[in-house]
Amino acid sequence: MRKEQVIYGSYTIEFELKYSKRKTLGVKILPDTSVYVTAPLELSLEKIKENILKKASWIIKQKTYFLNFNATEVSYEIKSGYTVHYLGRQYKLVVEKSIKDEIAYKGNLFLISVKNKEKAQFLFDQWIKDRAIHKITEIAKPIIKKFSKRFFTPSEIFFQDMPTRWGSCTIKDKLIFNTKLIHTPKRCIEYVVMHELCHMIHKHHNDNFFKLLTLMMPDWRKEKTN
């Protein structure tokens, strides 16, 4: 693959370009906002860039969508009237004094009851992390089970706060997920799980990796063709 870019107004679109025997130009936007372009062998770079510019509005829209769920952008402050995302939905926060520390949610509200309001942030951080481990594991189980019918899968998964990544697969095939995933839609979590599972088989984002990802999760991609 080679790196190229086009200028669309004040916006620079960088993309990875690869030629193949396909008949049309394909553009894929990954959840990490990277852009992959696959072009017919006979198509010139000039024509490729012309096509990218025609799709520029769509590309920017898709990148913006995924940026809304960027690990580096997930932050919140626990105060009444503020909001926090949980599984992609936005919840309003209500913090109140109580004789015991407790967190409950119903409808579109998170009710945070605390003895000391200054500890509301700490209480919620601990609660959301525990909830993330439980819920992400629950979502991951059927995906791992599906993958295990074809390939080896680990007996357990691990969690870690990561400043820039949703998940990782180590050289020793240890799967690690960012607890901040709990703020994103379920579909995003499913994608990250399958993405890291595929890295157990193919460590790099090459053709074989994307073929496996498509085989295991056919509707994973946001792709636009001619």
pLDDT of 113-137, one tens digit each?
999 988 999 999 999 999 999 999 9
The residues, ordered by sequence, that sit 6+ positions from 47 with a Cβ below 8 Å of its Cβ are none
- For residue range 196-205, what is the model confidence (pLDDT) as tens digits? 999 999 988 7
Grade residue 64 by pLDDT with cuts at 50, 70 and 90: low
Residue 224's pLDDT is 45
The full set of domain ranges for the chain reads 2-67, 72-216
Q: In what order do the strands lie in the sheet with 158-159?
A: 158-159, 175-177, 167-169
Confidence (pTM): 0.70
**Stretch (H or E) spanning 9:** none
* Multiple choice CATH, 72-216, 3.30.428.10, 1.10.460.10, 3.30.2010.10, 3.40.50.620: 3.30.2010.10
* SS3 assignment, position 35: strand
Alpha-carbon separation of residue 58 from 8, 135, 149 (angstroms): 12, 32, 36
